[in-house]
Amino acid sequence: MAVRGDVIAWLGSDDVARAQFPDADVVDLDGAFVAPAFVDAHVHVTSTGLLRSGLDLRAATSRAHCLRLIAEHAAAQQDGIIWGHGWDDSGWPQPGPPSTAEIDAVVGDRPVYLSRIDVHSALASTPLRARADGLNAADGYDAAGPLSADAHHLVRAQARALLSATQRTQARTAALDAFAAAGIVAVHECAGPQIGGLQDWQQLRDTDHGIEVLGYWGEAVDSAAAARQLMTDTGARGLAGDLFVDGALGSHTAWLHEPYADADHCGRSYLDADTIAAHVRACTEAQVTAGFHVIGDAAVSAAVDAIERVVDELGVPAVARCGHRLEHLEMVSAEQAAKLGAWGVIASVQPNFDALWGGEDGMYARRLGPDRAPRLNPFSALAAAGMPLAFGSDSPVTDIDPWATVRAATAHQSAGAAVSARAAFSAATRGGWRAGGVRDGVTGTLTVGAPASYAVWAADELEVAAPADTVQRWSTDPRSRVPALPALTPGQPSPRCLQTVHRGSVLFG
């Protein structure tokens, strides 16, 4: 492969290359594997960096263990807010996170913010709670336990305000460096008023780093003029991403048609049908990408019904040209997928959710029961319905490991839901570019004329594979020239990134 400037200029055999480019700088990869670089289609950059420098509670195996990790971190970091993330009590021997009183007992008068793994609820110490005006009257308030909905947004805003500018800057840089080290050259930042706030997004947008940041702003509008103005004010790629129709299954805030199997309610809805439809209509008229965070089946139905209203009013071509997108899209029916595919709506999904929470004994099964849980994240059905797929990590919710994402999509824990490694790799590369509005036909590939954006990997074995529960649709014979990918054996480490290059510039290695 010959690269001239920021573009791939030539592909072919070594002897011809050396003859055509006698003065080129030659890099001998010594058997390493070169592939298009990854795109992570759903991230939260600053929160990802804060996890790397803050309190990581993902390893907590019980309430007592969680409290011990909090106490150890508080002892090591004497000053400032304790910002933590990742506790997940759904698999603990005795479900139920530490109480406010238990947290206060190990940290004293320190402000503490500890988001749940899905970041749709959080624990907060009494000193932090005291800073949030109106908290006791806010929706989702709990005096002793996790805060959700508006109460969570209030304490999260106060926690953000206690972070110094240096902490936030260092967090952004650390996160972007980590993406580059994982073979990722572009990320879709899902920003919004309740997530990081406008200042955080603007500072990220202005950060000088080789990682390309495609930003989406999650705030509803009701007119085309308002959509255009908000696009101007934010500099976002679209008014989409984490515009919350509902919450998350783990926090019991995903909006369901039927009650949770382990709770006597159907979760929460944050936007009504008319608001959802008005946003889609306004963005469609302004030719702006709209989108929503939808996880529960009632949330998905609300979004699909709203888009259908706009399709009936403005027509399929007007809707399809905008590249509207739905984030997560976990509980979607085949009929809904067919409609969304016909309207050109993009599925921005996270295969690692199934790897973490799927299966007969996983969190999905506990929250939804054995009948509903296996139907979550039906990637093959979405692809079969013509929905473009874009894969993301939702970092810091799941780790930055794009090969693990590809593996999870090919090893889905529900029968018939997996996709091939080739389709999964495409969704993690070209799919991310297309979802971000880059549809030139070459970006995300290694072809002449494409941007020189690639990663070099140490990979022991290459193979051409299909999901175990599907019919093989292409030849695995090397003579067929079907591109091979690293063998992603479950339980084995992912390929190791040796170098990441974006548009001809080395970002890592």
pLDDT given for residue 470 in this prediction: 54
Quick check: 139 and 111 in contact, CB under 8 A? no
**Contacting residues for 76 by C-beta, under 8 A, at least 6 apart:** none
Q: How confident is the model at residue 455 (pLDDT cuts 50, 70, 90)?
A: very high
**Residue 482 confidence (pLDDT):** 58
Q: Over the stretch 89-105, which tens digit does the pLDDT of each residue have?
A: 999 999 899 999 999 99
Quote the DSSP letter at residue 140: T
Mean pLDDT (whole number) for 175-198: 97
**Do the beta carbons of residue 107 and residue 158 sit within 8 Å?**
no
Whether pTM exceeds 0.75: yes
Mean pLDDT score of the chain: 94
Give pLDDT tens digits for 102-143: 999 999 999 999 999 999 999 999 999 999 999 999 999 999
Would you list the domain boundaries of the chain?
47-161
Q: What per-residue confidence (pLDDT) applies to 314?
A: 98
**pLDDT at position 469 over 60:** no
Write the CA distances from 50 to 83, 107, 154, 168, 196, integer angstroms: 7, 19, 19, 8, 12
Q: Per-residue pLDDT tens for 63-77? A: 999 999 999 999 998
Q: Which of 2-16, 276-290, 462-476 has the highest mean pLDDT?
A: 276-290
Distance (Å, rounded) from C-alpha 115 to C-alpha 148?
Answer: 10
pLDDT at 481: 53
Class of domain 47-161: alpha beta
pLDDT digits (tens, 9 = 90+) for 373-417: 999 999 999 999 999 999 999 999 999 999 999 999 999 999 999
| Res 442 pLDDT > 90 | yes
Lowest model confidence (mean pLDDT) among 285-294, 322-331, 490-499? 490-499
Q: Give the single-character DSSP code of 156.
A: H
- What digits encode the pLDDT tens for the residues 214-229? 999 999 999 999 999 9
Q: Is the pLDDT of residue 320 over 60?
A: yes
pLDDT band at 349 (very low <50, low <70, confident <90, very high): very high
The set of long-range contacts for 124-129, using a CB threshold of 8 Å and a minimum separation of 24, is: 124/100, 124/155, 124/159, 125/82, 125/100, 126/100, 128/81, 128/155, 128/158, 128/159, 128/162, 129/100, 129/155
How confident is the model at residue 298, as a pLDDT? 98
As a whole number of Å, the CA-based R_g of the chain is 23
At 472 the pLDDT is 46
What does the pLDDT read at residue 53?
Answer: 87
Q: For the ranges 17-21, 252-256, 490-494, which has the lowest average pLDDT?
A: 490-494
**Confidence (pLDDT) at 468:** 58
Output 459 or 261, whichever has higher pLDDT.
Answer: 261
Asked whether the predicted pLDDT for residue 26 surpasses 60, the reply is yes
